[in-house]
Amino acid sequence: MKLEKITSKTKGARRTYEDACGTAHALDLIGERWALLVMRELLLGPKRFSDLRADLPGISANVLTQRLEGLEETGLVVRRKLPPPASAQVYELTDWGYESEPIIQTLGRWATRSPLHDSSLSLSGTSLMLSFRTMFAPERAGDFVGSIGFRIGHERYRVTIADGRIEAVRGDPEGADAILTGSAPVMAAIVYGGVPLDALIGESALKLEGDRALVERFATFFPLPTKVGSSVA
């Protein structure tokens, strides 16, 4: 039954650029809509289907299914079954998949100069952590040493700075010098928008535990490039 359909497009038959250039091949692999953002959401570790859906507002279930299938076929993602008790299926990047982080960072840094960039839109916790990795300026941090925990929705992250290097990972914030609780856009407003802590705490948009001065220093370590068309080019 319907053998002709099977033969007509036996399997992939993906649209490719037919170009030996590496960049073109990269687009063959991750150029489809949503593909790179799915990778982004997996960069801090495995996630379940519904977590991905929740963190990618606007993606539909069938497109997410298609992307995960495609990324699995090309060897960028693997499905893994968690051992019981937590017997759930998760998607995880392969080693090669994790190597896509520089791509995501380069794109992100470049686009920050766009005059059309609207930073008031929603932001996932993963995106925020990756932006810290991308925008961290060691010369601003000097000999700063410290760690800050983040509680964003149900997710937990920990950022550690020492020796002019930054680490931003998913994990338990307990034991950090300070812990911030709030939404990702609020955290972004502090670090990138220059909004003072008090304003947000006053609005109950943010909760701060621990070393306040340390958080205020931390917020100065992530300078943004100038917008294009800005006279201070």
Partner DNA sequence: CGGCATCCGGGAAGATACTG
Partner DNA sequence: CAGTATCTTCCCGGATGCCG
Q: Which residues bind DNA (CB under 7 A)?
A: 9, 14-15, 32-34, 48-51, 58-63, 65-66, 68, 88-90
Partner whose footprint covers residue 60, from DNA, a second copy, none (CB < 5 to 8 Å by kind): DNA
- The residue (of 70 and 146) whose beta carbon lies closer to DNA is 70
List the end-to-end C-alpha distance of the chain, in Å, as a whole number.
Answer: 64
- Tokens found for residue 96: 């090669």
Partner whose footprint covers residue 27, from a second copy, DNA, none (CB < 5 to 8 Å by kind): a second copy
Tell me the three-class secondary structure of 162-230, residue by residue.
Answer: ECCEEEEEECCCCCCCEEEEECHHHHHHHHCCCCCHHHHHHCCCEEEEECHHHHHHHCCCCCCCCCCCC
Closest CA to 195 of 179, 206, 181: 206
Q: Is 120 in the site for a second copy (CB under 8 A)?
A: yes
Q: Is 123 in the site for a second copy (CB under 8 A)?
A: yes
Q: Is 216 in the site for a second copy (CB under 8 A)?
A: no
Task: Show Cβ contacts of residue 217 under 8 Å, excluding neighbours closer than 6 positions.
Answer: 144
What is the pattern of x (binds a second copy, CB under 8 A) and - over residues 50-69?
-------xx-----------
Residue 36 neighbours by CB distance under 10 Å: 19
- The residue (of 103 and 205) whose beta carbon lies closer to DNA is 103
Scanning 29-37, 150-158, 165-173, 196-204 for contacts with a second copy by CB under 8 A, the matching segment is 29-37
